[in-house]
Chain A
């Protein structure tokens, strides 16, 4: 059954930056300009009006092959040229492996419904808001992710302005 990701899209108001939040309570991720909300990811918007947001997990039903729901990332952001897949995490063991699995599963589902290459720039973000956040090299993982999905993976909570 086709899945219409874009029917769940909402326009993001033009602001300098906004947060992407997740209450971790089976409700969908959401956009916030209120600093009192816990921003897991910070997205630079630079007052642009062409940003759209899609809550994916707990919002878009993606039936799994063996019953239940397929793994899904938390959210997507897109403009005319760029699409971002976003997974929001609290730090715990193997969080990155789980985040990558959810991002890859969503990209696969998206690809089954759309031509992802219609977006010139394709990004994926694995965000973990917990600190301390020790920097590590993950270039091989980035390379494999790109080879497998044709999407550039970044690990961090700062989402640079979309193209």
Chain B
């Protein structure tokens, strides 16, 4: 589990003050809070360092030494938060193998000395950052031609186009309102089809649909694309990647005989031949870091422009995709009390599964594929004073003592106060 500490960076001042200031990144991490309090900042910093850890491991494997950095600041340009650095900025990230920190204007990276051994524990992620401006890609017809498109949008656009093109049917189920998306590979026309079979161009569809489409298509596409199936991953290696893998084996195998056996087995796998089970286990256990074997989905405001029921559908799809692989991760930022309420339902459904309530019964009230145990969920709340608070769970369920819930309840209390005033002055 990665941890991150942020202090005096953009809207975040004191940051999180418990646990030595470290926020835990759990399978599901939710950041809620008022606007401009640092929700996206946390998501962007995490995304940047998770990517840096992955990239640094590649570098370390190629050069057989820990990479060194003079300045992390430039890395934040991709997320357009390079201006958030302040004189007292402190940022620290502790990943599986790499640790990075920034303090007193100096960047520092530390890698585990025993890289070869620790790599086995590392689950290399495909990291996707889905920004809140995502509907720009479905509002403008030629988003590909926009100059200076923010880097994260540009990456999302690449994956969105791949998702559309790799589908054989060109038809995609959307999680909301029983809608489908139809992509015509010849004309590249992208249409939304309603349950009564009428269609409208994506560019003319509702803002909620425009927001959901890139999120849903890319999430589904990457979930299906990223696999922990070692044999499948080997078969999809490029020639260069195979050479890199062999070079690594030559560097770290014990002797010439075992090296030869491993490389022969690897070649056999590449050509789709069966290999000895013991050798397969050895390869699978010792070389997973050459592939993306899990998917870390970082999503800003999944609820964007959506009616509450549709918010639930989008969240359930994200959770279902996360559940397909034990090492997947989901981080969301949110303004929506509904999102937190639906997340609580997911945790309760998982609790019932653990108590052996039959899936078929749970499915009648909640989509069981989207059930995530409360122990795998952490919620943080960013505050207007620049602090971050963890919302402690209540009996392992996500807390409902959050500002979003409180704000809704306060309107009832205010209404009661107005009724009392009416009673006092209007009788």
Contact = CB atoms under 8 A, between A and B. Distances in A.
Contact of B419 (A131, A133, A135, A152): A152
Interface stretch (B190-198, B327-335, B397-405): B397-405
Contact of A135 (B394, B408, B424): B408
Given A142-B412, A155-B412, A135 B420 contact: no
Contact of A142 (B337, B395, B405, B415): B415
B406 interface: yes
A136 B406 CA distance: 10
Contact of B398 (A132, A150, A155, A156): A132
Nearest to B422: A146
B412 A138 contact: yes
B400 A131 contact: yes
A152 B412 contact: no
30 contacts: A120-B424, A121-B420, A121-B423, A131-B394, A131-B397, A131-B400, A132-B341, A132-B344, A132-B394, A134-B337, A134-B341, A134-B344, A134-B400, A135-B400, A135-B405, A135-B406, A135-B408, A135-B409, A136-B408, A137-B411, A139-B411, A139-B412, A139-B415, A142-B415, A142-B419, A150-B423, A152-B419, A152-B423, A154-B412, A154-B416
Contact of A154 (B337, B400, B413): B413
A116 B419 CA distance: 17
A152 B416 CA distance: 6
Given A134-B400, A137-B412, A142-B419, 7 more contacts: A132-B400, A135-B406, A135-B408, A139-B412, A142-B412, A152-B420, A155-B412
A144 B17 CA distance: 46
The B contact surface, by secondary structure, is helix
Contacts of B398: 132
A120 B395 CA distance: 41
Contacts of B408: 135-137
A143 interface: yes
Nearest to B341: A134
Residues of A in contact with B, size category: 20 to 34
Interface in A105-163: 120-122, 131-139, 142-143, 146, 150, 152-156
Counting chain B CB atoms within 10 Å of each CB, the highest count among A132, A136, A139, A156 belongs to A132
Nearest to A120: B424
A132 B400 CA distance: 6
Residues of B in contact with A, size category: 20 to 34
Counting chain A CB atoms within 10 Å of each CB, the highest count among B406, B407, B413 belongs to B413
A145 B416 CA distance: 11
A42 to B, nearest CB: 14
Contacts of A156: 409, 413
A146 B417 CA distance: 12
A138 B423 CA distance: 19
Contacts of A155: 412
A143 B419 contact: yes
A100 B121 CA distance: 57
Given A135-B408, A137-B408, A153 B416 contact: yes
A142 B420 contact: no
A49 B398 CA distance: 39
Counting chain B CB atoms within 10 Å of each CB, the highest count among A134, A153, A155 belongs to A134
Nearest to B394: A131
Contacts of A134: 337, 341, 344, 400, 405
Counting chain A CB atoms within 10 Å of each CB, the highest count among B397, B398, B409, B413 belongs to B409
Contacts of A122: 423
B337 A135 contact: yes
A120 B427 CA distance: 11
Nearest to A147: B419
A142 B409 CA distance: 13
Interface in B369-427: 394-395, 397-400, 405-409, 411-413, 415-416, 419-420, 423-424
A132 B346 CA distance: 13
A135 B337 CA distance: 9
A67 B334 CA distance: 54
Contacts of B423: 121-122, 146, 150, 152
A134 B399 CA distance: 10
A131 B402 CA distance: 13
A121 B400 CA distance: 30
A131 B396 CA distance: 11
A37 to B, nearest CB: 19
A120 B424 CA distance: 8
A142 B394 contact: no
Nearest to A156: B409
A154 B413 CA distance: 7
Contacts of A121: 420, 423
Contacts of B419: 142-143, 146, 152
Nearest to B345: A132
Nearest to B409: A135
Contacts of B413: 154, 156
Contacts of B344: 132, 134
Contacts of A139: 411-412, 415
